[in-house]
Amino acid sequence: MNILLLGYGKMGQLIGQLAESRGHSIAGKINIDNREELNSLDTKAIDVAIEFSQPEAAVANIKWAIERGIPVVSGTTGWLDQKPEIEQLTLAEDGTFFYASNYSIGVNIFFKINEFLARLMNETTGYKSSVEEIHHTAKKDAPSGTAITLAEGIIRNINGLTDWKLSEDAFKNEHSLPITSKRIDPAPGTHIIRYSSEIDDIEITHTAHSRQGFALGAILVAEWIQGKKGVLSMDDFLSF
């Protein structure tokens, strides 16, 4: 495949290295400093764009690719209030857009375990659920997209929870799910789901040891997405 990298920070660089090791070519490495190079690219020669940029750049990057018929695999978080607009554009252009808050296979298994545990806990009383996430200090958005996905999975399965809040005050509100975000180097990503009661605590944890699982997952999706159309997700890729 000929891959365009939209975003060339640590993740973009690792994706590029792994992609080339799998026999793929890199059509361009675009970041905030060289975005004008998009104008000189042969877009018809690009098989897929892998977009790991910044929240403020994601929408423009994705639109640029979709409008030119380039399938997009996106992992940028912090912009999802505009995701419906991107999905509508994808359908209108008969394009291909794949989004995941996390491309690690292990994390996506963790998502399913999280929902299963939430359904079990919905049958109990006396527990307060919460989410904690820990990332490196270079991560700009909080909470992480993965933490939001986990929170949404809990809210869908526990009666009485209506929303999540990034606030200690949410611990006092029985209808809100509290998320705590910590920024500590060099943590690539830890997510803890906790159910606390006066009697005991129940916890499940996913800890990433490096970014490699995220990067490889994005490349595997880019390989899989060839020839497919529409708005797709990890559930489609993993056939959950």
Which active-site residues does the annotation give? 135, 139
CA distance 188 to 84: 28
Residue 48, strand partner residues:
3
Cis before residue 84, ω within 30 degrees of 0? no
CA distance 27 to 5: 8
What sign has the CA pseudo-torsion 12, 17, 23, 28?
positive
CA distance 111 to 122: 17
DSSP secondary structure code for residue 228 in this structure:
-
